[in-house]
Amino acid sequence: MIIFKNINIVNFRNIRHNKLRELKDLNILIGPNNCGKTNLLELISSLSGMIYGEEPYTCKECQEFRTVTPEIGGLSLPLKTEDFYLNNPNNEMIVELSIDEKQIKSLVPGALQKQRAKIKIGQNNTPCKNIKEDITMVNEASHTRLHAKHLSPFIHRDIIEEISNSILYCPETRLQSYKEKKLEQYLEDRKLSTPQKKSWINFLQNVVDPRIDDEKYEKLIRKLDDADFETEIAKQGSGVRSLVCLAVDVLFSHNKRIVLIDEPELGPNPSVKQEFLKFLLDQSQEKQIFIATQDPTFVNPLLWKNSNIAVYFHSVLDDDFRKIDLMQNQEDPNVFAGYLPHTISLKDIHIYLEGTSDVYIFQIWLENYLKREFPENWFKLINKVGIYHLCGSFWTHLLYTIPKNPYKCIVILDGDKRENAEEICQKYNQAKVNTAKFVFCKDIENLRKFFGKEENHPIYCLKKNCVEKYLVQQFNCTNPPEDYRKTKDGPLTAEKSDIPEEIKKIFDLILLGEIEISEKSQF
């Protein structure tokens, strides 16, 4: 279910400017610590405090129209001083909400049509030429309350109440308490019916621990050696404690259609995380779900393939969240560098390229190189090297995913990236984030100086503007032939071609390190 289509935020806490575009049923926010993931969730959560009524519009024309049309109300959102960037209400905060018309018509029948007629949208005498469908809220200088800037058909009492009452926030502090209550007390206060308790136990049994058999006065009963063992929730493992109250909220808050979960990975083991993700995917058919996570389980394309999902990756380069093109990793997830630091890889050497077709071509070149240079143990050496892609033009942002030492990593880009690759290196090196640092290498000798060293991973740009140019001399990198199949024709041609001398030198360097080429036989 999609209620919010886009959310734009300016100057909220540590968020200077972020726009979540084209939101889906399940939306995943990922990125380093303190990048604003939780604050985005809390901003959405704060919308439950929107006030409809005698509230002024910051647009003069819209306010004048509201004054003479008393049946049209205003909208405000109360906040605190600490909610403003740098704790300064003089910083203009902006919150823009683009809302799905289809869902609102279903949830609040007739409201939009009536409101459009009142505001006269589409007519010559519309009160303000800047009126749009979206809701835009801003603050006046030194005020901690946001007010709607312009009239909007979505600023209708029933619509605002529906959205405000639909928001459910599940914070990450839930191992010992939940929403400032002890776990048992929270469950007791929910006053679950007997069928609800049975559904809750079934969830815990199927997702967390199959030994959980029943409950008694907010205590769990587990089957141990064919006997019932009654234990307090506070004494359960972290996986159970993390999910007991969260599951109750998601399962039985039927009017909550916008669900925000901070760190769903908190506590459960990898198998439980997978089952919980499946549960969220199922729930997202009836709810719009947002999760903030740093766990690879929840950004595993094999688990949510073909689902209505949006992934937003925090760019160290631009300090905002960027939506990922999921088609870039679903074709062959095995060669995608991922969205999080690539520290779960067990390869000795990582080669990062721009796109999937580049990976396939380099894999063929590497295998041919090893079979020729090391015929007796090429099969062993090839398993030491991992070749991955950085989502094409998204490479500038996904450099964040490249792991630090002791991984030996190299980034190889097409020659047309030479102009800005050095600048990108400098920006990463200046970023105050726990990420790998890079050095731009202009030639092979410079590359030799830095590859495998502790401080910086080398970024090298090929002499030719694209990899295909090494396969077909007349290949036009900017305007390839219409019948050229990038991920098929390139690898097929590479199989029949010699390894380019430049690529051979790079492989020599990567596999031999400081050993001289003449000493290959001793490798």
CB atoms within 10 A of CB 429: 14
Distance CA 143, CA 88 (A): 10
Residues 95 and 134 in one domain: yes
- At 522, the pLDDT band (50, 70, 90 cuts) reads very low
Q: Where a domain ends, among 223, 253, 283?
A: 253
* Residue 513 scores a pLDDT above 60: no
| 43 within a domain of the structure (yes/no) | no
**136-192 pLDDT tens trace:** 999 988 889 999 999 999 999 999 999 999 999 999 988 889 999 999 999 999 999
Separation between Cα atoms, residue 403 and residue 281, nearest integer Å: 30
433 in the same domain as 358: yes
Q: Are residues 157 and 209 in the same domain?
A: no
Q: What is the mean pLDDT of the chain?
A: 91
Total domain count for the chain? Answer: 3
How much is the average pLDDT of 401-412?
93
Q: How far apart are CA 290 and CA 168, in angstroms?
A: 10
pLDDT number for residue 515: 37
Lowest mean pLDDT among 113-117, 432-436, 497-501: 432-436
pTM of the entire structure?
0.92
Q: Is residue 280 part of a domain?
A: no
Say if residue 102's pLDDT is above 90.
Answer: yes
The answer to whether residue 259 sits within a structural domain is no
Residues 339 and 485 in one domain: yes
pLDDT, tens digit, for every residue of 37-69? Answer: 999 999 999 999 999 999 999 999 999 999 888
Q: Do 14 and 159 fall into the same domain?
A: yes
For residue 435, CA distances in Å to 317, 335, 432 come to 11, 21, 8
pLDDT at 332 exceeding the cut of 60: yes
Cβ contact 429:389 at 8 Å: no
- Does pLDDT of 452 surpass 80? yes
In a domain, 208, yes or no: yes
Range of the domain at 491: 332-522
Name residue, tokens 């459910």.
168
Residue 275: partners with Cβ closer than 8 Å, 6 or more residues away: 206, 207, 208
Residue 28 in domain: no
Instruction: Output the pLDDT for position 520.
Output: 45
Helix, coil or strand: residue 421: helix
113-122, 189-198, 465-474: least confidently modelled range: 113-122
pLDDT tens column, 4-15: 999 999 999 999
Q: Reply yes or no on whether the pLDDT at 517 is more than 80.
A: no
- For residue 104, is pLDDT > 50? yes
Residue 295 resides in a domain = no
Q: In this predicted structure, what is the pLDDT of residue 122?
A: 63
The whole-number pLDDT of residue 387 equals: 96
Neighbours of 511 (CB within 10 A): 20
Same domain, 198 and 156: no
In a domain, 153, yes or no: yes
> Are 369 and 468 in a shared domain?
yes
Q: Which residue has the higher pLDDT, 506 or 70?
A: 506
Same domain, 239 and 146: no
**Percent of the chain's residues with pLDDT above 70:** 97
- Find how far residue 66's CA is from the centre of its chain: 40
Q: Which helix (H) or strand (E) holds 78?
A: strand 74-78
Say yes or no to pLDDT of 390 above 70. Answer: yes
Quote the CA–CA distance of 151 and 237 in Å, as a whole number.
51
Q: Give per-residue pLDDT as tens, 292-327.
A: 998 988 988 888 877 899 999 999 888 899 998 888
Last residue of a domain, one of 123, 149, 165: 165
Give pLDDT tens digits for 126-152. 889 888 899 999 998 888 999 999 999
Does one domain contain both 61 and 125?
yes
Strand order across the beta sheet in which 385-389 lies: 385-389, 349-353, 408-413, 456-461, 437-441
Q: Are residues 120 and 233 in the same domain?
A: no
Task: Please report the pLDDT score of residue 320 as a whole number.
Answer: 92
Do 144 and 210 have their domain in common?
Answer: no
- Residue 463, classed as helix, strand or coil, is coil
Question: Could you give the CA distance from residue 68 to residue 63 in angstroms, rounded to a whole number?
Answer: 9
Within-domain flag for 198: yes
pLDDT band of residue 193 (cuts 50, 70, 90) is very high
Do residues 424 and 483 share a domain? Answer: yes
236, 253, 270 — which closes off a domain?
253
Predicted local confidence at residue 519, as pLDDT: 41
Mean pLDDT of 111-120: 89
